[in-house]
Amino acid sequence: MSITSSRREFLKHSALAGAVTLGGAAWAETAVEAAGPLDMAIARWKGGDSPVSDIAVKLTEQALEALGGMKRFVSKGDVVWIKPNIGWDRTPEQAGNTNPDVVKTLVRMCLDAGAKTIKVGDNPCNPAEKTYVTSKIGEYARDAGAEIVFLDANRYRDMDIGGERLKMHPVYPEIVECDLVISVPITKHHSATKMTNCMKNFMGVVEKRQIFHQDLPTCIADITAFMKPRIAVMDAVRILTANGPTGGDLKDVRQPNIIAAGTDLVALDAFGAELLGQDPKTMETVMAGEKRGLGVSDYHSLKLKELDVA
């Protein structure tokens, strides 16, 4: 069997155990049905002092509702992969990983929208046995009803990415097989790319990441194009402003109390760059994504709603 060049084609034709032919068709139909009035929603907390957990939950709920609700993206019976950043052995307060309350809320919203199965997992840099626990993502997602997946290094499969730099590259098939993959990064400084956010988060679905470092902006655009994302949720409840991606020092953490959600990952990354005090036009990953046609850096040109949440 030949290995196909896109996630959609993989879903349609893969003969891997558990894959079904209808997966690709369902993905395509849902993408059309999901067209709605808003491209992006930015929810900002204006409710004064509150527990961070409450802030994260309310912002996530309101951002998704503004975008049209989770049913815009999730159909009854779907298998959904929620892809947080769980890369580092860091606590939520250290802002090295996605906020666990954001992940928990998305799991619940996907189930409420009719999803059959929610899977949560990442290919972390530190051992997953530590990162899933210290981040609290494993516990919170499991309690919300998700299946926690520890990615098996023996299961990656070479796929035809069809990119400018990435041609054949190992991707985790269980992620690709899902009806919907939601990128849910935390907005952070990154020493190599200035920022890690929605697009770069897809480096957690592949192996052999050292190849990416030969040309990070292009490779990140390649894997994003391959994954064909329909929605991403950007966690900026806390952000890491320096010494990323690992962090560890609380002085590098800021708490903007923002969640942004949208269908344009380039736009979300541009907004994330601004939160980090950067001009999106100077971000090579943002510009590479825009050049590839994956979205626009001028997010104000989109159908955008900004809302205050209390």
Domain ranges of the chain: 36-309
Which pLDDT belongs to residue 11?
53
What pLDDT digit, counting tens, does each position of 235-282 carry? 999 999 999 999 999 999 999 999 999 999 999 999 999 999 999 999
Which pLDDT belongs to residue 152?
98
Checking if the pLDDT of 13 tops 70, the result is no
Checking if the pLDDT of 3 tops 70, the result is no
Checking if the pLDDT of 4 tops 70, the result is no
Handedness of CA 76, 264, 178, 108 (dihedral sign): negative
Q: Distances in Å between the alpha carbon of 52 and those of 43, 76, 185? A: 15, 31, 17
What pLDDT digit, counting tens, does each position of 193-202 carry? 999 999 999 9
Quote the DSSP letter at residue 49.
S
Q: Going along 211-294, which residue ranges are E strands?
A: 232-240, 253-254, 258-262
Mean pLDDT, residues 108-120 taken together: 99
Q: Going along the chain, which residue ranges are E strands?
A: 40-45, 79-84, 117-120, 147-148, 157-160, 168-171, 180-184, 186-190, 194-196, 232-240, 253-254, 258-262, 304-309
Checking if the pLDDT of 32 tops 90, the result is no
Closest CA to 39 of 308, 261, 273: 261
What pLDDT digit, counting tens, does each position of 191-242 carry? 999 999 999 999 999 999 999 999 999 999 999 999 999 999 999 999 999 9
Kindly report the pTM of this predicted structure: 0.89
Which pLDDT belongs to residue 37?
76
Cα–Cα distance, 237 to 52 (Å, whole number):
8
CATH of 36-309, picked from 3.40.309.10, 3.40.50.2300, 3.40.50.11440, 2.40.50.140, is 3.40.50.11440
Which pLDDT belongs to residue 9?
52
Q: How far is CA 167 from the centre of its chain?
A: 22
Q: Residue type at 226?
A: F
Which residues does residue 42 pair with via DSSP β-bridges, in sequence order? Answer: 260, 306
Checking if the pLDDT of 89 tops 90, the result is yes
Checking if the pLDDT of 301 tops 70, the result is yes
Which helix H or strand E contains 227, and what residues bound it? helix 216-227
